[in-house]
Structure 1
Amino acid sequence: MNTSINGNKPLEGRVAVVTGAGKGLGAAFARSLAQHGAAVVVNNRIRPGAADEAAAVAESIRASGGRAIAEHSDVTDPEAGARMVKAAIDAFGHLDTLVLNAGTAGQAVRFSGATLDEIRQVMETNFFANTAIVAASLEALAATGSGRVLFISSSAGLYGVKGRAHYAASKGALNAFAFTLADEWRGKGITFNVLCPYAATRMTGADDPDNPDALLAPDRIAPAASWLVSPHHDRTGEVWIGGGGWLRRVETVETGGAAMPQQIVDFETFAVGQSGLETAQGFSGAEAAFADLFGDLRAHLKGRSQ
């Protein structure tokens, strides 16, 4: 793979923390970042009785000529973010990149009152842990003037998924969090973007010998993550989705709209007229979306009064 831009590795001098990087997507992200020149803090907790997966990934990166260290915090530990930042600065001098990959799918089960505790558990890992790590990292990221945060989300957070209400809700919350931070930090030195990868991993059952998912190997989406955190990608608030070497841009859009009917019986005809996307557009944030709608409404009212 050619990792050069003008003869230099595009992430040379960058320092990244990758959470949940002991296996699957996280390990692929860490390897790709290192291949493109970044120094990597490979985060992964050590499960009781299990091997040190973070150390193995870090060693494989070093064996290939890259720079990496292992870090073993459980992301749900309130001090995890501070420890990751310290590890990066102590080892490599600064921190400018977060790839927040660690997550859990929870159990596949239809929603009921019995799943409320499961929702809280999944939200703790997939949402609250990420907010805490970002909070602990903001000062270090901003100090570099080119901080990059990439949230690893899922199409479940865009569209929902049957039997995974807890997982979908956690990823939807993560997406909204990313959009908000992108809006708050626009032009202030940190970008926030989202990648929704399709990949065969332990979480998706790739350990099953009857699951033929070579096309969706994590390494085939990992370069997208390296691009989204590179200094050459300076846009913010974007969502990308892909797998198997294919990548798509995701955009939430609204139709142009029209004057709302006042009788319920007229709404169905109105809805059919709004089903096309010819006038659809996206917005940089909720305030921009409201301003556009309110502008159309004022123009309509003004036209009606003339």
Structure 2
Amino acid sequence: MRVRSTIVTGAGAGLGAAFAKAIAADGSSVLVNNRRHQDRPYPAEEVSSAIRADGGTAATDEHAVDLDGGPEAIVDAALQRFGGLDALVLNAGISGPAIKVGDGDTELRQVLEINFFANARLIEAALPHLRRSSSARIVVISSTGGLHGVRGRSAYAASKGAVTAYALSLADELRRDAIHVNVLAPYAHTKMTDRPGRAPDPRMAPEGAAAICAWLAGEACDRTGEIWVAGGGHVRAAKAMESRAAPFGPARLDALAAMPAPRGFDGGEAAFADFYQDAFGED
């Protein structure tokens, strides 16, 4: 019987490397994807070697997720090496420059190309093969910045908001195929979060968000269409919330903004139906 196989993008270091190692320890073969830079060592091979040294199965793939043909080549590499595909962990991404809107180029298009469009293309390339799996899983690595915004990182926040909404929509569409899709927003110290003069908190190592990623990507996961925030070995659920509806009036806005009796919804249609019922008392 074929061993379960998983693609982890952006897995050369940091969170991606921790995810790949945890998934391999859970019994899956792992394609460790990371773009190769000719002027520096290739870290994905170090991750793969560490997995193999611990008795796991891993191979590397150096295709960039945002290049023409990259997503298709990544999927083909997994199929050729492992004979099938069961899970995607979409971790590759960039933060973009720390620039406030109006103060310079936030590189919005470049950030969206890598953090959103490349992930969408990779999912499209993988779906025909995931549908052949008896327990297909997609884990989209996002950020709470996509829920709440990040001062000075508008491009990054926009890309994560886009990929989160895409994943939740996809989860609803793929329920009939029994493909589970979830969003993971990890908190961890990585090169992306490094700040000069600030020592990393050892409690926030990438490994602290790896166990839930491995579970979400694994056969045992029975949940879909959810957002999970993780770090330091802890996890919590997240949702976009809305207050009750009331007739418009400026005097009411402060009370509504305080979110009395907040409500979460499984999709935009459910949110609209609730609003309509709240406003008019009709279905």
TM-score interval, normalised by the smaller of the two chains: over 0.9
Report Cα offsets for 1:210-261 as digits up to 9, x if no partner.
4232111101111110111222222211111121112111011222323x14
Given that 2:182 and 2:224 are in contact with CA atoms closer than 8 Å, whether structure 1 keeps it comes out as yes
1:254 aligned residue (224, 228, 242): 242
- Aligned residue for 1:124, secondary structure, equals helix
- CA drift of 1:88 comes to 1.3
Between the aligned partners of 2:125 and 2:46, the Cα distance in structure 1 is 26
**How far 1:24 sits from its partner (Å)?**
0.5
CA contact (8 A) 1:22 1:57 kept: yes
Decide which moves more: 12-21 or 239-248: 12-21
Q: Which residue of 2 aligns with 1:198?
A: 187
Match status 1:57 vs 2:47: yes
Question: Residue 169 of structure 1 is aligned with which of 150, 155, 158?
Answer: 158
Contact 2:5–2:84 (8 Å) recurs in 1: yes
Alpha-carbon distance in structure 2 between the residues aligned to 1:230 and 1:217: 22
SS class of match (2:101)? coil
1:65-109 deviation digits (Å, cap 9, x = unpaired): 000000000111121221122111211121010000011011111
1:28-65 residue CA offsets vs partner (Å, 9 max, x unmatched): 00000001111000000111211111111111101110
**Structure 1 position 113, deviation (Å):** 7.2
Q: Please name the residue that 1:288 is paired with.
A: 270
1:183 matched to 2:172? The reply is yes
Task: Determine if the alignment matches structure 1 residue 137 to structure 2 residue 120.
Answer: no
What's the TM-score once normalised by structure 1's chain length? Answer: 0.87
**Structure 2 equivalent of residue 5 of structure 1:** none
Whether the 8 Å CA contact 1:42–1:68 is kept in 2: the answer is yes
1:237 matched to 2:219? The reply is: no
Which residue type is aligned with residue 51 of structure 1? Answer: P
What is the Cα deviation at residue 179 of structure 1?
1.1
Residue 197 (structure 2) pairs with residue 215 (structure 1): no
| Mapped partners of 1:113, 1:123: distance in 2 | 19
Corresponding residue pairs, total? 282
Task: Report the CA distance between 1:279 and its aligned residue.
Answer: 2.9
Q: In the TM superposition, what are the counterparts of 1:36-75 in structure 2 within 5 Å?
A: 36-75=26-65
In 2, distance between residues paired with 1:209 and 1:58? 32
Say if 2:4 and 2:85, in contact at 8 Å, map to a contact too.
Answer: yes
Work out which of the residue numbers 112, 115, 118 in structure 1 matches 2:102. 112
Corresponding residue for residue 16 of structure 2: 26
Question: Are positions 1:267 and 2:257 aligned together?
Answer: no
Q: Which runs of 5+ in 1 are unaligned?
A: 1-11
Displacement of 1:273 after TM fit?
Answer: 3.7
Gaps of 5+ in 2: none
The residue identity in structure 1 corresponding to 2:232 is G
SS across alignment from 2:137: strand
| Match status 1:224 vs 2:212 | yes
Name the aligned partner's letter for residue 198 of structure 1: Y
Q: Which one-letter code corresponds to 1:226 in the other structure?
A: A
* Cα offsets for 1:123-166 (capped at 9, x unmatched): 11111111110110011111113211111111111111111011
